[in-house]
Structure 1
Amino acid sequence: MTDRSEDGAEPSPRRRGQGELEAQVLAVLREASEPVPVAWVRERLGGALAYTTVITILTRLRAKGAVERERAGRSFRWTAVADEAGLAALRMRKVLDAEADRHAVLASFVTGLSPNEERLLRELLAKAAEEEEG
């Protein structure tokens, strides 16, 4: 038996968010051993997305610095240069860059961290400072 809405219509498929699609495209690209064309990415995603949708996601990821492209004839081949953590960091940087009061944003972010997250952040900052000095 199929779930139906009150009006008897079939439920529409769950719509994925932009971030979810970006993460999926990035994961597929990271599986590739060499730069790949859009059609390869689309096929690995199951083939249900429109070709233009895949190009749009790749273009957005390129603008964020998460992927690179190289010319291959009249089209491009794509390569991941960031993983999912890198993509999340790029998003965080974009949000931070859009705010006028960076101090307030960072202070608010830090006060929302759990004790374990705060400890990890302190360790990462200490490690980054050591690398900068040495």
Structure 2
Amino acid sequence: MRQFGELEAAIMDVLWAAAEPLRVRDVLDVLNSDRDLAYTTVMTVLTNLHRKGWVEREREDRAYRYRTVTTREEATAQTLRELLDSADDRESVLLHFVSSATEEESDILRRALRRKARKR
């Protein structure tokens, strides 16, 4: 995702896939299945993600356990919102997006817009 660097995104993917909060060591073990990262590197990135408000942590004995604050879907929607807010011509952006949508995605959008209209 746009708001994350490469390693931040990989760490968020690990946390989103986890059923429970993870320690630095747990995240490192998953990531090191296909790369060779240092414990301190992962710890620093998790600390930065915590500082940025993307993860929460709770102390367990001498270590922290980390979990995401939002779901992957919520984070993706937030990124889309930020991109749309930064556009000079929102209408053009939305029209380009809709023109690239599949039929299934178009149906989802139509249903969501109908629900939104009913809530007003």
**Which has a greater percent of helix?**
2
Aligned residue in 1 for 2:37 = 49
Flag the 1:128–1:68 CA change in 2: closer, same or farther, 3 A: farther
Query: Which residue of 17, 22, 26 corresponds with 1:36?
Result: 22
CA distance in structure 2 between the partners assigned to 1:58 and 1:103 by the alignment:
38
Shift of 1:118: 1.4
The count of corresponding residues between Structure 1 and Structure 2 is: 113
Aligned residue in 2 for 1:93 = 81
Any stretches of 5+ residues in structure 1 without a counterpart? Answer: 1-16
Higher relative contact order (CA 8 A, sep 6+): 2
Other structure's SS at 1:96 match: helix
Whose radius of gyration is greater, 1 or 2? 1
Q: Percent of pairs identical after alignment?
A: 34
Any stretches of 5+ residues in structure 2 without a counterpart? Answer: none
Any idea what the Cα deviations from partners look like across 1:57-110, whole Å, max 9, x if unmatched?
A: 6634863x5432346688743212333333322322232232233232222212
In the superposition, the TM-score normalised over structure 1's length comes to 0.57
